[in-house]
A and B are shown apart, each in its own frame.
Chain A
Amino acid sequence: MGVDLIFMFRVLVFPGFAFLLAFALFCDWFERKVAARMQNRIGPTYTGPMGILQPLADYIKLLMKEDITPRQTSRFLFTLSPVLAFSLFVFILFYVPIDGANVILASGFEGDLILVLVLVTVAEFAMFLSGWSSVNPYSGIGSTRILTQLLGYDVPLMLLALGPAFLAKSLCISTIIARQKVPFMLLIPWAFIFFIITLQAELEKDPFDTPHAETEIVAGYGTEFTGRKLAFIRFSKDIQTVFSAALLASLFLGGPCESILFGSSSFLCTAWFVVKVLLVIFVLEFIGCMCARLRIDQVVWANWRIMIPIAILSLILTVVCAPLFESLIG
């Protein structure tokens, strides 16, 4: 019984649902604030101190809005896909260590990195379905763009994720974290830099925000969504941002590891996690602010002609250099 209570607490409160949702909202605010400052604006200021409650207020507003389902949509998919996307992303995040351990199993299992990457692809499919089911030309174009973009960045993403896995000789995220006496970012910077760029594509941020390019196809796959469903879609994007940043932090920045300086405690690990995730989000947002949007054919072209060869090269380079790093890997 006692074990179950702890388990329930971990899943529902910390570091599970409640914490993750609150953190995702905070990250949303952080993103907006960073983008605003980069663009010479002030960003949210009104709700809560420095506007920190603005994302929450937005979601509450969305939840209260009328929920419209256009007549010709396939009702089942239209309702299911936002929820599916949201729950998949939350589920994936449960596999990433947050307070030193991940939410479901204390230390993960061999191969959970693969599972996580596969689930991300499935979640992208849910996003695609959401647009495809809404029978709107803008959504249609937007969702085909999601798939086209996925074709481009998915392969390099997986190849680049293999670099740290190879160094750590494990496909378990917790093990990869535990083996990073020195963050892998410093050992294999080539993989790190390109991993950030592919993440940018996965998160649909500039220069890869083609699937929801406002000035071309309105809101892309999300055009027909309103109210609660829109809230779910938006929220799944927020969670995806946190997940991507957390994945990067885990694979390359050492994740929420037992810090050499401060020792290990659940609190400090979480603090490390938060700091690293915010750092990554800052970098992602920074890149986004500096770029114009690419065209979908340019995205695919760049991914197949540039990113995939680079990903393979970086993997080879990692394999070649691995013996040099023996002493630096725990």
Chain B
Amino acid sequence: MATVEQAAVDILKEKLGDKILEIVTPRPRRAFVLVKHGFHRDAVSLLLEQFERAGISTITGIDLGDEIELNYHMRCHGAVITIKSRVSKEKPQIETITDLIAGATLYEQEVFDLLGVVFKRHPNLKRLLLSEDWPEGSYPLRKDWNPQDVKENPYNVHTGPSKINDQGLDGTTYTTNVVIGPQHPALLEPERFLFKVDGEVVVDVEPRLGYVHRGIEKGAESLTFLQDVHLIERICGICNVSHTTCFCQAVESVGEIEIPPRAKYLRTIVVELNRIHSHLLLLGTAGLVLGYESLFQYMFRDREPTLDLMEMITGNRVVPAFNTIGGVRRDLKPGLNEKIENILERFEKRMRFYKDVFQEDPTMRLRTEGVGVLKKSDALKLCVAGPVLRGSGIKMDVRKDDAYAAYDEIPFNMITYKECDCWARLMVRVDEIVESINIIRYAAENLPSGPYRVKVPRKQPKGEAISRVEAPRGELVHYVKSDDSVHPYRVKVRSPTLANIISFREIAKGGYVADIPTALISLDPCFACMDRMVFLDVNTNRSWSWRLDEMKSLKGEVNGR
């Protein structure tokens, strides 16, 4: 039986012939196909025709010096086929693929924003992450970008908040604009949404991302691989283990490092613990958003033992610094198995109670059932990920399709719900917690003996790799390109929230104002993950946060005028 990537490569070869410049299949389930300029659309549409549930994971832009290389990472039934196309840096223009696959909209905007590639015929080519007043022609992810550019053309602090273009939002009379965010009680992190509201009904919505940029992708290029693990860990407070696992896997693929089986199992345990605490946090917050404060308080109380467990295993409660390139940094202490079992048993009982609450509480169901429906076909078209996908009844889970760590050896069920609404998306998470408990149990019982890490050279050989992990919020993609040095040449992170946020418009439109927070929370948005990119600091080359005295001086400046 031909593998998926082989089938994909065969069909591309057959249909495109000499338009293909290069094909590399370095690892199982991965293929990199370089096509001539202008033929990426054909390649993408071929893949979409060939594979029924294919979608786009992300687009990575890489500055190669004279050219910018665009990598269209297509997810095709567990494999990732990367279509590469190059454009000249002088005149970086390329045809859009948004008409073929709607899910690419935000990714093209992102590449436009950060690398200055213009996608012709893109419906809404605007800034995605950088602020509206960022100087024109300054593209931070290009190699020749200098922070000095921005310092010389400082963005004007006095232009007021970034304006949201009203285009496409007018046409209806008797409507009100309601802005939710950047600060709003329903949002735990800053992001801004403009709602056009007719009475209590949402007519349209336009999200504006990018309020929490930190320039981690750019920062990662200036650090070594090993240092990057700790930088990557700080992309997100909640799903940090998924990020480090994903990054380490990518680097291990580049360097062709085989990690010991014990490390794989330990990674699995910690990733699943991370998933449990992330899902509990979300479900508790869902309670808060639905005005169910008691549920929120209870969930947060019962989340504590999982954090304690995390501390016992890794030494830290939330950000464990557990993964490293070549394995994990600590071994499981002897005698811990019993404690894990005790805590999990108590925890499982509580989960049964919460499942009853979510299934039976009438007010809960009134507020979530039939709210924010994302149809199966729309979910595929918009290329959403994780529980959002599975809540729409699509069986797709990176742990099953593209097994990493120890998931190929551990039995577990993939949870799907057919209802396609907020309730289904929340229930997926409730059931996944139970599955995670079983995974941890199995992994702790069948933990292989042996070493837990291997020594890895600081320098990684030339190469590129794409790694996927099923983070609590869905498919997380890391792309790493190495140039035979201690620093990565390019690191690209596609967090699941960026994949999911695109569906927000679909699920909020036509609903009630009261359902906005419910719809949003059912996507489990994590804006810190989504906005990790850009380096706003103009003062120094290397640091990406303001020091206190700098903030004070800035404050004086603003007040002084």
Contacts and interface: CB of A to CB of B under 8 A. Distances in A.
Interface string A276-314: 000000000000011111111110000000000000000
Contacts of A154: none
Interface string A201-224: 000001101100111111000000
Interface in B249-297: 287-297
A140 interface: yes
B298 A289 contact: no
A71 interface: no
A140 B197 CA distance: 12
A41 B297 contact: yes
B121 to A, nearest CB: 35
The list of the 7 closest CB pairs from A to B, nearest first, reads A293-B291, A292-B292, A215-B186, A39-B297, A292-B363, A292-B290, A295-B514
A215 B294 contact: no
A96 B217 CA distance: 67
Contacts of B179: 137
A295 B512 contact: yes
B185 A293 contact: no
A292 B176 contact: no
A216 B364 contact: no
Contact of A137 (B178, B289, B298): B178
A105 to B, nearest CB: 41
Given A294-B363, A295-B367, A297-B200, A216 B516 contact: yes
Contacts of A321: none
Contacts of A216: 186, 513-514, 516-517
A289 B367 contact: no
Contact of A40 (B185, B292, B298, B364): B298
B177 interface: yes
Interface of A: 35, 38-41, 137-138, 140-141, 144, 206-207, 209-210, 213-218, 289-298
A289 B197 CA distance: 30
Contacts of B197: 137, 141
Interface-centre pick from B296, B301, B363, B516 (highest chain A CB count, 10 A): B363
B202 to A, nearest CB: 11
B2 interface: no
A209 B363 CA distance: 13
B291 A215 contact: yes
A293 B290 contact: yes
Given A141-B178, A215-B186, A293-B367, 18 more contacts: A39-B293, A40-B297, A40-B301, A41-B297, A137-B176, A206-B292, A207-B363, A214-B185, A215-B185, A216-B186, A217-B513, A291-B363, A292-B290, A292-B367, A294-B366, A296-B512, A296-B514, A297-B512
B363 to A, nearest CB: 4
Nearest to B301: A40
A296 B200 contact: yes
Taking chain B's interface residues, is the majority helix, strand, or loop, or is none over half, making it mixed? helix
A293 B514 CA distance: 10
A95 B295 CA distance: 39
A285 to B, nearest CB: 11
Nearest to B289: A215
Nearest to A137: B178
Contacts of A218: 184-185
B20 to A, nearest CB: 52
A14 to B, nearest CB: 36
B291 A141 contact: no
Contacts of A209: 291
A35 B199 CA distance: 32
A137 B177 contact: yes
A293 B292 contact: yes
Taking chain A's interface residues, is the majority helix, strand, or loop, or is none over half, making it mixed? helix
B356 interface: no
Contacts of B297: 39-41
B49 interface: no
Interface in B348-407: 361, 363-364, 366-367
A298 B179 CA distance: 24
| Interface size class, chain B | 20 to 34
Contacts of B296: 39
Contacts of B185: 214-215, 218
A218 to B, nearest CB: 6
Contacts of A140: 176
Contacts of B517: 215-216
A215 B515 CA distance: 10
Contacts of A137: 176-179, 197
B514 A213 contact: yes
13 contacts: A39-B294, A137-B197, A144-B199, A213-B514, A289-B293, A291-B363, A292-B290, A292-B291, A293-B363, A294-B367, A295-B366, A295-B514, A296-B200
Given A137-B178, A140-B176, A295 B515 contact: yes
Contact of B288 (A41, A144, A215, A291): A215
Contacts of B512: 295-297
A294 B369 CA distance: 12
Interface string B294-317: 111110010000000000000000
Contacts of A40: 297-298, 301
A40 B298 CA distance: 7
Contacts of B186: 214-216
Interface string B161-193: 000000000000000111100001110000000
B506 to A, nearest CB: 20
B294 A289 contact: yes
Nearest to A291: B363
A316 B117 CA distance: 74
A207 B291 CA distance: 8
Interface-centre pick from B176, B287, B361, B366 (highest chain A CB count, 10 A): B366
Contacts of A296: 200, 512, 514
Nearest to B287: A292
A218 B512 CA distance: 16
A41 B186 CA distance: 21
Contacts of A41: 297
A291 B288 CA distance: 11
Nearest to B195: A137
Nearest to B300: A40
B292 A141 contact: no
A298 B366 contact: yes
Contacts of B516: 216
B361 A39 contact: no
A185 B131 CA distance: 62
A147 B298 CA distance: 33
Contact of B513 (A141, A206, A214, A292): A141
A208 to B, nearest CB: 10
Interface string B509-527: 0001111110000000000
Interface-centre pick from B186, B197, B291, B513 (highest chain A CB count, 10 A): B291
Contact of A213 (B184, B291, B364): B291
A183 to B, nearest CB: 29
B513 to A, nearest CB: 6
Nearest to B363: A292
Given A137-B176, A141-B178, A216-B516, A38 B184 contact: no
A313 to B, nearest CB: 21
Contacts of B288: 215
A321 B342 CA distance: 58
